[in-house]
Each structure stands twice: as C-alpha cells, then as structure tokens.
Amino acid sequence: MNQEAYYGHQSQIYGVEEHRLIGGKGDGMRLLEVKNGRGTEFTVSADRCADISRIAYRGVNLGYFAPCGYVAPQYYDTEPAGMGFLKSFTAGFLTTCGLTSAGFPCEDAGERVPLHGDISHTPAEHIYSVIEDGKIKIRALILNAWMFHQKLEFNREIALSLSENYLEITDVVKNKGTETCPLMLIYHINFGYPMLTEKAVMQIFSKERYPFNEIAAKHLDEWDKLKPPSDDFIEQCYYHLFEKEGKALLYNPDLRIEALISFDIRELPYMVQWKLLKTRDYVIGFEPGNCHALGRDKMRQEGKLQFIAPGEERSFHVHIRIEDK
C-alpha cells in the first residue's frame, strides 16, 4: 500500500514540530514534539541539553515530571550546598548529568562541584531534525566550555525508528581545549505514573548490586519491589554492575507495556537505580553512566574517575525499546 497517497502532509502520521512555552518559569523554552506513527511520541527540550522531557506510548505517559515542571536554564541555581539543582530538576524521561561532574556535590581537586553538574541546564547552540534511514533524527550541539577551564563539545543524536518503537541516543563528547579534564556522564532515565505503579514489574539484569547508604542496605532484599506512594518513604539508591550488557526494564501488566533500557558496559560500566516511592515524588530511575553517583571525589579516591584528553572524542549509546506485552 502506498501510504503517502492517503495523507496531505506527513505530520498526519509522523514527524517533528517545534513549539515554544508561554508563561511561568518555562517561558520561551523551545520544545520539539516527535512522533513516529507507531505509538511513540516524545518531547525534546532544546534549551535543556536536548533532553527528553516527556514520552508516551499509545497515549500512555511513561516518564516522571517533577513538581517544578518546566524550568528555563536561567533559573539554574546550585545553592543551597550544591543541591539547588533540585529546584529546577524537571526530571522528565531523560535528564543528562555531567560533563565534568555528576552525582553528589563535593569538593574535589580544589573545585566545588554541584549535584549532577550543569550540562542539563545548558541550551543547545543549534538543533535540527532530519528523516533518513527510516528514522527521525534530532541532532543538537551543546557547549560545556569556560574560559580558563574545560572546553567540551557535546554532540547529541536521538534517533526514533519509523517502523518500530525503538530509540537510540548517541552522544559524542569532544575535548576542544588544551587540558585533560574529568569526564562524568549519567543518563538519568525516569519512569512515573501511570507506567509506574505498585503493580509494575522492575527487572535489572545485573551480576552485582550495592546499596548507597544504610537506608538502602536495610532494604536490599526489596530493591526490586514496588509499593503504593507513601508519605514517609525514604529514598533508596543502589548501583548495579553487569557482566556483558547493561539491561533494565519496567513492565506494567495492567497497561501491557514494557520499556527496556540497554547500553554498552564498555562505555557505561555503572547503573544507578533510583527508588523513590514517596507521595507526589513517585519515581523509579534507571541511570546508566561512566561513573556511580557518590561524587567525583569518591570516584577519584577509588581510582575510577575517567578523563578526556585534548583532541579526544568519546562516544556513548543508550537504547530504549517500547513494546506491547
């Protein structure tokens, strides 16, 4: 069947449309609405690192949207105590953390670094879409460069298949400066209601897992259990190590929807599991990264902090498959 014969414009079925927000702290933000005609629709936030703020499958929301809602980058504030990130943490389906620090705020090598770095609050220098190879591709350039400091270039491509509900995120970090600098990157992928409920099934195919703190250690045997929202739930985090391939999924039997996250552990050897089942803060995060989230100082102390040299390029890939089950 010649599908094109049936429609006047491809946007009846698939494509990309750009919009701007009006009002509130998100005023003026550029959003790219993407759909493939197969059930997947998502929003790319051009002014927040080309992250994915919303995603839905068959009209069902999959991600978590934080109480602050959309917040433009000019409202970014690291205070108090490096935790101000949370005041503008939209979360969404994907928040990128990095590039020279990610995880807990800390003092490292004479530098005070805030929670999760600042790349997620950086607008794209330019962003555009193309349709090629049977995919819709969003391409963006984000600069993470200071005078007398790092000069990193972050090139992102989000490719959505037109024939199946499959996304691939490809990021290339280039050091355009003259000094070697730390490289930390965490993909903060967040699931929320109605995809996430106490009936959902969470699986992480790791060979080892470790609790972040005493609270998490106390509930280690329940790391994969989900409960209804609770006013007194205390955040639990675990980090996971994999043998061959990083894989984690969430399945909702009521919706009969499964979302599978996969990644190459040679690029991203860690995955943090964020479990927060609190009233209105009801979210599960799968967070692959080239680091854990205990802070840059801890990564350095462990001898596991990664660096990027002048002229070096590093590539990272995350795959997301959504299916009816």
- Segment 252-309, tens digit of pLDDT: 999 999 999 999 999 999 999 999 999 999 999 999 999 999 999 999 999 999 999 9
The pLDDT of residue 182 is above 80: yes
Identify whether 137 is part of a domain. yes
The CATH number for 125's domain is: 2.70.98.10
Is 37 contained in some domain?
yes
- Does residue 1 have a pLDDT over 90? no
- Residue 2: pLDDT band by 50, 70, 90 thresholds? confident
User: What is the CB-side half-sphere exposure of residue 127 using CA atoms within 13 A?
Assistant: 27
pLDDT tens string 64-111? 999 999 999 999 998 988 899 999 999 999 999 999 999 999 999 999
d(CA 174, CA 177): 9
Task: Calculate mean pLDDT across residues 15-20.
Answer: 98
Q: Which domain holds residue 134?
A: 3-190+285-324
Over residues 125-143, the pLDDT tens digits come to 999 999 999 999 999 999 9
Q: What mean pLDDT comes out for the span 45-74?
A: 98
Instruction: Look up tokens 């299916």; give the residue.
Output: 323
In a domain, 222, yes or no: no
Q: Which residues pair with 251 in a beta bridge?
A: 201, 258
pTM of the model: 0.97
**Structural domain includes residue 172:** yes
Q: How far is CA 235 from the centre of its chain?
A: 19
Residue 46 pLDDT class (50, 70, 90 cuts): very high
Q: Is the pLDDT of residue 203 over 90?
A: yes
In this prediction, residue 51 carries a pLDDT of: 99
Helix (H) or strand (E) holding 324: strand 313-324
* 319: pLDDT strictly greater than 90: yes
Burial (CB count <10 Å: 0-12, 13-18, 19+), residue 170: middle
How far is it, in rounded angstroms, from Cα 100 to Cα 186?
Answer: 11
Read off φ and ψ for residue 87, nearest 5 degrees. -70, -20
Looking at residue 81, its pLDDT comes to: 80
CA-to-CA distance for 159 and 60, rounded, in angstroms? 21
What pLDDT was estimated at residue 316? Answer: 98
Q: Is the pLDDT of residue 171 over 80?
A: yes
- The secondary structure element, H or E, covering residue 298 is helix 296-301
142 lies in a domain?
yes
- The pLDDT of residue 40 is 98
- In a domain? residue 272: no
- Count the domains in the chain: 1
> What is the reported pLDDT for 4?
87
Look at residue 210 and tell me if it is in a domain. Answer: no
What SS3 state is found at 248? Answer: strand
Asked if 103 contacts 116 with a C-beta cutoff of 8 angstroms, the reply is yes
- pLDDT of 5: 92
Report yes or no on 318 lying in a domain: yes
Mean pLDDT of the chain: 97
